[in-house]
Structure 1
Amino acid sequence: MDTISTIRRSANMAAIRSKNTRPEIVVRRFLFGAGLRFRLHAKALPGKPDIIFPSRRIAVFVHGCFWHGCTKCVDGKRRVKSNSKYWTEKVSGNRLRDTRNKRALRAEGWKCVTIWECEVSKPNRLRSLLETIVSHSSA
Structure 2
Amino acid sequence: MVALGDGRFARASITLRLYRRTRRIRAYLRWSKDGETQERYVCEVTHEWRGANLAEAWRRAREQGFLTEEPLPAESKASSRAVRANMQANRGRDTGPELALRSLLYAAGLRYRVNTRPLRELRRTADVVFPRERVAVFVDGCFWHGCPEHSRPARANAESWSAKIEGNRARDGDTNARLRSAGWTVLRVWEHDDAGEAARMVTQVVAAAREAVAKDEAASISFRMPT
TM-score by length of 1: 0.83
Larger Rg: 2
Counterpart residue type for residue 6 of structure 1: A
Q: Which residue of 1 aligns with 2:171?
A: 97
**Which whole-Å CA distance do the structure 2 matches of 1:124 and 1:45 have between them?**
32
Equivalent residue in structure 1 for 2:201, among 125, 128, 134? 128
How many residues get paired? 133
Equivalent residue in structure 1 for 2:127, among 50, 55, 58? 50
What do you get for the CA RMSD once the two structures are aligned?
2.4
Once the two structures are TM-superposed, the CA of residue 40 in structure 1 deviates from its matched residue by 1.3
Aligned residues with identical type, % of pairs: 33
**Which whole-Å CA distance do the structure 2 matches of 1:24 and 1:122 have between them?**
9
Q: Which residue of 2 aligns with 1:87?
A: 161
Shift in alpha-carbon separation, 1:106–1:53, aligned structure 2, 3 A: same
Q: Which residue of 1 aligns with 2:74?
A: 6
Q: For structure 1, list consecutive stretches of 5 or more residues without a partner in the other structure.
A: none
**Which whole-Å CA distance do the structure 2 matches of 1:4 and 1:20 have between them?**
26
Counterpart residue type for residue 147 of structure 2: C
Deviation above 6 Å: which 4+ runs of structure 1? 10-15
**Which whole-Å CA distance do the structure 2 matches of 1:85 and 1:131 have between them?**
40
Say whether the 8 Å CA contact 2:139–2:190 is kept in structure 1: yes
TM-score by length of 2: 0.53
Shift in alpha-carbon separation, 1:122–1:25, aligned structure 2, 3 A: closer
Three-state SS of the structure 2 residue aligned to 1:4 is coil
Three-state SS of the structure 2 residue aligned to 1:66 is coil
Once the two structures are TM-superposed, the CA of residue 107 in structure 1 deviates from its matched residue by 1.2
**Which whole-Å CA distance do the structure 2 matches of 1:33 and 1:83 have between them?**
43
Say whether the 8 Å CA contact 2:101–2:198 is kept in structure 1: no
Once the two structures are TM-superposed, the CA of residue 42 in structure 1 deviates from its matched residue by 1.9
Q: For structure 2, list consecutive stretches of 5 or more residues without a partner in the other structure.
A: 1-69, 78-83, 214-227
**Which whole-Å CA distance do the structure 1 matches of 2:202 and 2:104 have between them?**
10
Larger helix fraction of residues:
1
Say whether the 8 Å CA contact 1:45–1:105 is kept in structure 2: no
